[in-house]
Amino acid sequence: MKQQNTKQKILDASLDFFSKHGYSGASIRQIAREVGVRESAIYNHYKSKEEIFNSILDEFKTRTITTKILSDDLLDDLVNPEKFLKHFAARLIDHWNSPDERKFIRLLLMEQFTKIGSRELSVTEHLTELRSICKMIFGEMAKHGVIKEIDPELLAEEFTAQLFFIRTELLSSDNPEKIKFVHEKVSRHVEFFWNGIKA
């Protein structure tokens, strides 16, 4: 019958159900129904429910945000650091607002403490790349003397924690108005943050 299609459909449907009901709350039969197949067919592609879960984790672990967030046109804004930070944050929020990212972060928040998730899921680890990007940015800003002399690592943590917190507010509803509200909040955060660190 159909081929590679089904395997990806299983992954998509699983991420959807896992993020809605949690790992143990989602069932193979629900997933199979969503894919349009009997539950036994699932096991032609994955040998267990846990393997599906781990495959989702693997997929998101290899994803990178740097190329998506730090495009050339954005780096041009570096001459105006506040404007740069605002664009940077806005782009990050938009990225986090994509359906897959929303589902994954829900899964991350839900399963990070359970037996199945605690081996590989951690918010801190998930933010590692973002933090190192920010650390680099603030390091450069400090080098050019546009901000006060503050440990770039601390700056990165302060900057990203608030963004991540705002992000969780995005997750509660699918209301499209919400994203405007979130962007305004992010904008205020960047302004406050910038006023606290500018030289």
Partner DNA sequence: AGCCCTAATGAACACTCGTTCACAATATAA
Partner DNA sequence: TTATATTGTGAACGAGTGTTCATTAGGGCT
Q: Please work out the total of residues on this chain that contact a copy of itself, with binding judged by CB under 8 A.
A: 40
Whether 34 contacts 17, CB under 8 Å: yes
Min separation Cβ 121 and DNA, Å: 18
Q: Which of 15, 18, 48, 81 binds DNA (CB under 7 A)?
A: 48
**Amino acid (1-letter code) at residue 83:** K
CB neighbour class for 174 (10 Å; exposed up to 12, middle 13-18, buried from 19): exposed
CA distances from 109 to 67, 106, 112 (A): 25, 5, 6
Q: Does 97 bind a copy of itself (CB under 8 A)?
A: no
Residues 18-47 vs a copy of itself: string with x where CB under 8 A?
-xxxxxxx----------------------
User: What is the CA angle 102-104-109, rounded to 5?
Assistant: 95
Q: Does 114 bind DNA (CB under 7 A)?
A: no
Altogether, the residues listed in the chain come to a count of 199
Q: Which of these segments, 42-50, 61-69, 72-80, 91-99, binds DNA (CB under 7 A)?
A: 42-50
Binding site for a copy of itself (CB under 8 A): 19-25, 106, 109-115, 118, 122-124, 150, 154-155, 157-158, 161-162, 164-166, 168-169, 171-172, 188-189, 192-193, 195-197
